[in-house]
Structure 1
Amino acid sequence: MRKTLTGLIAAAMTAALGTFALHAEPLAYPQKVVTLVTHSSPGGGSDVFLRELSKYLGKYIAATFVVENVQGGSGAKAVARVAAAPADGSVFYATTPTYIYTSLLSKPSATYKDLEPLVNMFADSEVIYTRADGPYKTLKDVIDKAKSERGRWGASNPASLERQAAEQLKRAAGVNAAIVTHEGGGDMMLNVLNGTLDIGIGEIQELRSQIEAGKVRLLATFNPQRIPEKPDVPTVKESGYDVSLVKFRGLAGPKGLPDDVTKVWDTAVKAVLEDPEYKKRYTEEVLVANFIPHAEYPAFITNFADTTEAFLKETGAVK
């Protein structure tokens, strides 16, 4: 009885604290307006991520959030825009593996090393998709086409995890499909739907409306395991090709972010990830919460960059 009573009290206190957190005043912040920059075109993965996130951040941080699309150079222009901004908490960049790949595969004016990782929020599933009324029912169908007629595969931009996923799949399957790159996932999806591309590689969040409309068929995921919300979609590895990748999503700012900014974001991001409304939304988008605080995020990014550079050197992409 005593254990039961203790458990009930603990549960009640947890619920009370949760209710308090949801209804507490937004945290004071040194900026009234915060610009969230992405290299994605409207409708692309990072664009969708930021626009959805911005609907909820105001409940936890006392500021207005706006999204700015800075396209060009496979993310190089967006990184340069943020690197040159004041380190006062007014401008941040949506981090994905793209800003690592762009830094390693080209010589941009600013690289990932010129930004300060702020916080990570999600792990994102990469999927292979095709038009629902097309000839491809399985990933094997796509590979067979690539063996006989080469084929055309889409990736969001030249220096993206999607592009590297396509290259790794080509290598694992022993085919030489043409990889057609775009400045954003929205543009690529149009070319999949009109039949210009056999497949595209992207995130479910940018495909959701087309999936619900029955316009797109998911063929496989690069996740190590099947996506819980899409249990019928096999992994690439299950399909016979030894490739597994997961995308990270977070934020970075100019170098030298002050403590009063980073502490607010650490607290607010933990809270927003537990927000019931936002949690419902990002779960529908098949995003998995993966909170990495400011103190740990730089090491995570450095490790990812080092691992990526080693792979690119092994494959001859960089020297």
Structure 2
Amino acid sequence: MLTRRHFIGTAIAATIALPGLALAEPAAYPHKVVTLVTHSSPGGGSDVFLREMSKYLSKYIGATFIIENVQGGSGAKAIARVASAPANGSVFYATTPTYIYTSLLSQPTNTYKDLDPLVNFFADSEVIYTRTDGPFKTLAEVIDHARKTRGRWGAANPASLERQAAEQLKRAAGVNAAIVTHEGGGDLMLNTLNGTLDIGIGEIQELRSQLDANKIRLLATFNPQRIPDKPDVPTVRESGFDVALVKFRGLAGPKGIPADVTAIWDDAVQKVLADPDYKKAYSAEVLVPNFIAHKDYPAFVNDFATRTEAFLKETGAIK
């Protein structure tokens, strides 16, 4: 069953204080309404990204943006929804590593190869967290516990970068922790808070409310370097385990997006990432701008898919 949630971006037309000068008009766009599809449940990482970004995007693209949550199959239904849409710039999908993993692990009817990568916005930090009132203060303590009693670790869904991060950490640490996957971040958080899981792996924007309430503790980040806004959180590598991963966040559409549409997005994404108000918002969520233009984004996605497929074959997840 499709769950449809709408968020309508607000187009802005205003005059600044200097007489005779006005803010630039949004770029003319061939569609009045653009649907942004995500496999994420409401409140999940991609859902939060799209809803927040849409608030500012209408300053630069003359359209109303609607968010559509299409859950099921670890992203398979959302991929199919977009792959079958008109290739005219009216429907896009929120790309993350999940749509690569789903394509490789479950062999759905439509895969990432049936979508045309449009543009990338961000690199997103993956972190390891645990409950504040729990027994673990460091990642080393979690690993030591896993050596003694196996342990239970949580990831958002079976086809995700979080799952790969957990698998790579297991291998690097030489432990056999049970990895419990979930369809969404809400259940994962609940099981981490109630002690069912030793740790969860997720994104800071999904964890914000629990972090602010001091309910969870960040143990490490999979980023190659420490997160600028979280300088006290060590990297997994600094903690003694040679694993580094970064999540990408962008958009893709049906095959054959017109060149005039991709040009509008290339220009608008650079402007929205430089928007001072949006910069404050995404910096608070520890998102790092990582603009990749349309001409380069397909190669980036294909390279990620190739490396992911090699890892999955190496670990026996696929043949």
Report if TM-score (shorter chain) is over 0.5.
yes
Residues 197-244 of structure 1, C-alpha deviation per residue, up to 9 Å, x if partnerless?
111101111111211111110000001111111111011111111101
**Which secondary structure state, in structure 1, belongs to the residue aligned with residue 41 of structure 2?**
coil
SS of the aligned residue for 2:307 comes to helix
CA distance in 2, matches of 1:22, 1:48: 31
Cα shift at 1:165: 0.2
Cα offsets for 1:151-190 (capped at 9, x unmatched): 1111011010000000000111111111111112222112
Q: Say yes or no: does 1:303 pair with 2:277.
A: no
**Aligned residue in 2 for 1:9:** none
Secondary structure of residue in 2 paired with 1:93: strand
- In 1, the alpha carbon distance for the partners of 2:193 and 2:43 equals 15
Shift of 1:71: 1.0
Q: Match for residue 27 of structure 2?
A: 27
Tell me whether 1:240 sits opposite 2:240 in the alignment: yes
TM-score, structure 1 normalization:
0.92
The separation in 2 between residues aligned to 1:190 and 1:54, in whole angstroms, is 29
The residue number in structure 2 matching 1:187 is 187
Report the Cα distance in structure 1 between the residues aligned to 2:68 and 2:197, rounded to whole angstroms. 29
One-letter amino acid of the structure 2 residue matched with residue 180 of structure 1? V
What are the residue-to-residue correspondences of 1:75-114 with 2, within 5 Å?
75-114=75-114
User: What residue in structure 1 maps to residue 285 of structure 2?
Assistant: 285
Aligned to 2:133: 133
Instruction: Describe the SS at the equivalent of 2:179.
Output: strand
Q: Superposition pairs for residues 85-234 of structure 1, below 5 Å?
A: 85-234=85-234
Aligned pairs for 1:48-67 (under 5 A) are 48-67=48-67
Question: Can you give the 5+ residue segments of structure 2 that lack an aligned partner in the other structure?
Answer: 1-20
Task: Give the C-alpha shift of residue 317 in structure 1.
Answer: 1.5
Name the CA distance, whole Å, in 1 between partners of 2:195 and 2:255: 44
Identity over the aligned pairs, expressed in percent? 80
Note closer, same or farther for the CA distance 1:22–1:137 as it changes in structure 2 (3 Å cut). farther
Does the 8 Å CA contact 1:125/1:246 hold for their aligned counterparts? yes
Aligned residue type for 1:228: P
Runs of 4+ in 1 over 6 A off after TM superposition: none
| Counterpart residue type for residue 46 of structure 1 | S
Quote the Cα distance in structure 1 between the aligned partners of 2:150 and 2:41: 28
Alpha-carbon deviation of 1:144?
A: 1.5
Q: Which amino acid aligns with 1:204?
A: I
CA distance in 1, matches of 2:56, 2:162: 28
Match of 2:37 in 1: 37
Identify if the C-alpha distance between structure 1 residues 164 and 141 changes in structure 2 by more than 3 Å, giving closer, same or farther. Answer: same
Equivalent-residue separation in structure 2 for 1:50 and 1:183 (angstroms)? 19
Provide the secondary structure at the position in 2 that maps to 1:23. coil
Instruction: Please report the RMSD computed on the Cα atoms of aligned residues, expressed in angstroms.
Output: 1.6
In 2, are the aligned partners of 1:39 and 1:78 still within 8 Å (CA)? yes
Aligned-partner Cα distance in 2 for 1:286–1:251:
19
Alignment correspondent of 1:266: 266
Deviations 1:276-318 (A, max 9, x none): 0001111111111010011110011111111111111122211
- The equivalent residue for 1:16 is none
Note the residue ranges of structure 1 that are not aligned, 5 or more in a row.
Answer: 1-20
The structure with the greater share of residues assigned to helix is 1
- Which residue type is aligned with residue 158 of structure 1? P
The size of the alignment, in residue pairs, is: 301
**Could you tell me the TM-score, scaled by structure 2's length?**
0.92
CA offset digits 1:19-67 (Å, max 9, x no partner): xx99210111111111111111111111111111111111111111111
Asked if the contact 1:22–1:275 (Cα under 8 Å) also holds between the matched residues in 2, the reply is no
